[in-house]
Amino acid sequence: MVPTSHQREQHAPEKRNDNSVREPPARALLASVVRLSHVIHGVRTRVAGASGFTPTIVAYPGYGSTTWVRVLARVVLTSKPAAASGTVRGWHAFTSVPVPRSEVAVEIGGVIHPVRADDGGLVDEVLQISLAPGWHPVVLRSPETAPAEAQVLVVAPDATFGIVSDIDDTVMVTALPRPLLAFWNTLVVSERARTPTPGMAVLLDRIVARHPETPVLYLSTGPWNVAPALARFLARNLYPKGVLLLTDWGPTLQRWFRSGREHKQNNLERLAREFPGVRWLLLGDDGQHDPEIYADFARAHAGQTAAIAIRQLSAGEALLAGGRAHEDATEHGSVPWVTAPDGAGMAAQLGSYGLL
């Protein structure tokens, strides 16, 4: 018996709108996690307000040329800062709550530039200026906060040499690749308990003395929350004054966690575009992805790579890190590649290339 048209309509499967597109399950789940993080941020904001936290601008050193500067800062809700007594624990840096989309006025060289923080409270803006080479003060203000001051390094137009250095396990022994110890060092250990890598401060100081007005950038996958503590560590252990390039943690619509490797690659490519005449000395360690990241940069920008210096982890550090990164130094052509467990060993090798 042939079904009638009415019966066919009753038993036919329900048609979907051809214009509707179902999100892949993984992406839909990730979007839900992002929405949940926004809800949690709202709760944290209300709790911080009820606890007397106040809006604060945390300004970081920036860099640029004689015609532009990159200004870096965060707008957060925070409690009164603890005294710099050396007993400050890492977790204090994570109690602040970002204030998204805040309006900020940046004053540099007598000119005021209005900018706006992003959804994470981060100000990362390139401003057009006219300044002489050297360090210059920058003042940031918003209607809700007290002024904050930082400095920006204006790189000389004729600069031909610069330094990009990793932080964790390169200039500071933190054992960051190991999840448990990373938690302990980042959130619990006192600032003054952090250990400088032997000989690295002397090495960098000697290089800067050999190449005056060298821009020094400390490129790390650490979060912006720890920037003030890192800056104090570098100053206390006599590392050259420089600029921190850190990142944010947490999910985005594209991934569960922001990619530290991508963060480093993007900033290196950016520096190559911004300063085409500068050759960079790249310092890192063999416990993460530094050798591979630096090797890729050297292959793409051999003329902008002065040398690659990799700190060798100790046997114990390498075991806890899950092994060493292996990169064949012979694949990088004329770019010098040195490895040593400390700054003194690197200095001896870099000296043979005329970098000291």
Tens-digit pLDDT profile for residues 53-97 = 788 999 999 999 999 999 999 998 887 654 444 444 555 566 678
Whether 209 has a pLDDT exceeding 50, the answer reads yes
Confidence (pLDDT) at 25: 67
Q: Which domains does the chain have, with CATH numbers?
A: 25-42+53-78+95-155 (2.60.40.10), 159-356 (3.40.50.1000)
Tens-digit pLDDT profile for residues 263-278 = 999 999 999 999 999 9
Confidence (pLDDT) at 334: 84
Check residues 57 and 289 and name the one with the higher pLDDT: 57
Q: Compute the average pLDDT of residues 229-242.
A: 94
Q: What percent of the chain has pLDDT over 70?
A: 68
3-state secondary structure the chain: CCCCHHHHHHHCCCCCCCCCCCCCHHHHHHHHHHHHHHHHHHHHHHHHHHCCCEEEEEEEEEEECCCEEEEEEEEEEECCCCCCCCCCEHHHHHCCEECCCCEEEEEECCEEEEEECCCCCEEEEEEECCCCCEEEEEEEECCCCCCEEEEEEECCCCCCEEEEECCECCCEECCCCCHHHHHHHHHHCEHHHCEECCCHHHHHHHHHHHCCCCCEEEEEEEEHHHHHHHHHHHHHCCCCCCEEEEECCCCCCCCCCCCHHHHHHHHHHHHHHHCCCCEEEEEEECCCCHHHHHHHHHHHCHHHEEEEEEECCCHHHHHHHCCCCCCCHHHHCCCCEEEECCHHHHHHHHHCCCCC
Tens-digit pLDDT profile for residues 292-306 = 999 999 999 999 999
Q: Compute the average pLDDT of residues 204-214.
A: 94
Whole-number average pLDDT of the chain = 80
Whether 45 has a pLDDT exceeding 60, the answer reads no
Check residues 115 and 51 and name the one with the higher pLDDT: 115
